Amino acid sequence: MTLLRFLVAIAPVLALLGGILVLRWRAYRAAALAWLVAVAGAATVYGAGPVLIASASAKGLSLTLLVMLIVWSAVFLYTLAADLGAVDSIARRILDSSGDPLVLGLLLAWTFSGFMQGIAGFGVPVAIVAPLMVLAGHSPVRSIAAVMIGHSWAITFGSMGSSFFAVQLVTGVDGAALGPPLALLFILPIFFTGLSVAHIVAGWGGVRRALPLVAAASGLMGALMWALNLLGAAPVSSMLPGLLGSLFLWLVGRGRSTNTTVARIDQVTPRLSFGWAFLPYGLLTLLSLLAQVPAIKDAAAGVSFALGYPGLRTAQGFAVPAQEAYAPIRLVGHPAPLLLLSAVLTYLLYRRRGLWKPGAVDRARRATVRQSTGTTVGVALMVMMALVVTDSGMAAVLADAAEELGGSVYLVAAPFIGLLGAFVTGSNTNSNVMFGPLQLFASQALALSTLTIAAAQTLGGSIGSGVAPDKALIGASVLGGDVREGEVMRRALPYGLLGVLLIGLEVLAVSLLGFR
């Protein structure tokens, strides 16, 4: 019976993995199968009644609403900025910044791609930056692999912090408590991904030459990530460190020799100056920081939307506690209103300056719907599956099995679980939703810090999402020609696996030192 319960508990995750990896389905199809498998298992073996299954699935949709509002707004602002020529103007300014291929490679694939992840995500850094790497003189495979590993440090706090929000919601960890230590743990992955880019771009010689530069930039970026989390500004905690790192490398690289490949493509004058190009994201940063001012926070404290869920119990006695306000969407505190306000202010200021393009909003709206619909359906079904697995008691059974591993082994394994989820689904958010409940129960069963395990999950998910096959596919489809995804994966994956092993050891060390 115990083996049957374990097999039924792991079946939804296996259905999801099998659908994506073996049957090569798109994520939403595999997620549909996984929800069906979860519901069948919950009803037949775990004694979950229809009320509990419906309530758990509705909880999943509440969570989806919270996360996907961020995603839709972030994609809208990005597509609007791209339509207005802002993204092109920023990219050209960066290409013009240095003639040293190593510094330019780091600037593009490591810091600028991190900034792009901060504002957009969903493979946009690979789609935008990999062609720029090729223009800077690198081979297509090397370019895609460098951007894949290079932007992976920025994924958890990227896309306006959607993955960070997801891990909080499924593990119940407070964002204010998780953010600052998580940012400190990110300093090692930031440093490692920088050196990985240097290795891909210029081999071991490049690593030696880049070491002081990467160390200094990592320190600055990590410190800013930490400070922003202390201020409660998690949604801009990838965007601004990415921008700071880019600025640092731009200043360092300015005096270096001129590269002819780079100089040639800059003959086209960008549509916007850097200041005007950066305006939508400058406004967003300003609004995010204003939203943390106590007086504003207090004034808007009561303005939120959330559904309440009752306490329920399976026929086998597994109890689900009542939730008075599940996954609340706050007017001040949720990134979507800030993103939309930035778009409105951008419209007003661009129009006043004569920089506005007629029809931009409509084109951005259409592009947002095209880009986000499949993701939304996939995330909704996946999160519904995760909540059915949690509320029916399946995740608790999986956590009991994980207990057999022992605390130390589990601490090293936890980021690999995050990596696996992100690798399969191509998303740090999905990985956190899929494996967050398992990690929560395992941390309780093994008496480990839930905060540490939640951090390990999303750290592994961040790197795993960067080196996931969908990013290689995006890069290969953008660059076209003879680029093979398999070759890109072989180039990028070893860095991802080594990075996650280092994270596992970092988490183990932090835990052994007594930090909780």
Binding residues vs other proteins (CB under 8 A)? 28-29, 32-33, 35-36, 39, 49-59, 61-62, 64-65, 307-310, 369, 373-374, 376-377, 380-381, 384
Closest to 145 in 3D by CA, of 417, 479, 428? 479
CA-based R_g, the chain, Å: 22
Q: Which is nearer to other proteins, 36 or 286 (CB)?
A: 36
Determine the Cα–Cα distance for residues 505 and 125; give it in Å rounded to an integer. Answer: 28
Read off the amino acid at residue 19. G
Nearest distance from C-beta of residue 54 to other proteins, angstroms: 3
Closest to 418 in 3D by CA, of 428, 409, 408? 428
Q: Which is nearer to other proteins, 35 or 278 (CB)?
A: 35
Contacts of 313 (CB under 8 A, 6+ apart): 52, 319, 320
Nearest distance from C-beta of residue 59 to other proteins, angstroms: 8
Q: Which is nearer to other proteins, 157 or 318 (CB)?
A: 318
Nearest distance from C-beta of residue 32 to other proteins, angstroms: 4
Q: Contact 457/438 with Cβ under 8 angstroms?
A: no
Nearest distance from C-beta of residue 82 to other proteins, angstroms: 22
Nearest distance from C-beta of residue 148 to other proteins, angstroms: 26
Q: Which is nearer to other proteins, 25 or 356 (CB)?
A: 25
Q: Which is nearer to other proteins, 370 or 490 (CB)?
A: 370
What would the DSSP string read from start to end of 195-232? Answer: HHHHHHHHHHHHHHHHHHHHHHHHHHHHHHHHHHHHTT
Nearest distance from C-beta of residue 169 to other proteins, angstroms: 16
Determine the Cα–Cα distance for residues 472 and 96; give it in Å rounded to an integer. Answer: 26
Nearest distance from C-beta of residue 376 to other proteins, angstroms: 6
The pair of structure tokens assigned to 353 is 């300056």
| Number of helices followed by number of strands (H, E) in the chain | 23, 4
Q: Contact 250/76 with Cβ under 8 angstroms?
A: no
Q: Which is nearer to other proteins, 307 or 349 (CB)?
A: 307
Q: Which is nearer to other proteins, 53 or 474 (CB)?
A: 53
Q: Please list the alpha-helical segments (H only) found in 291-359.
A: 294-299, 335-353
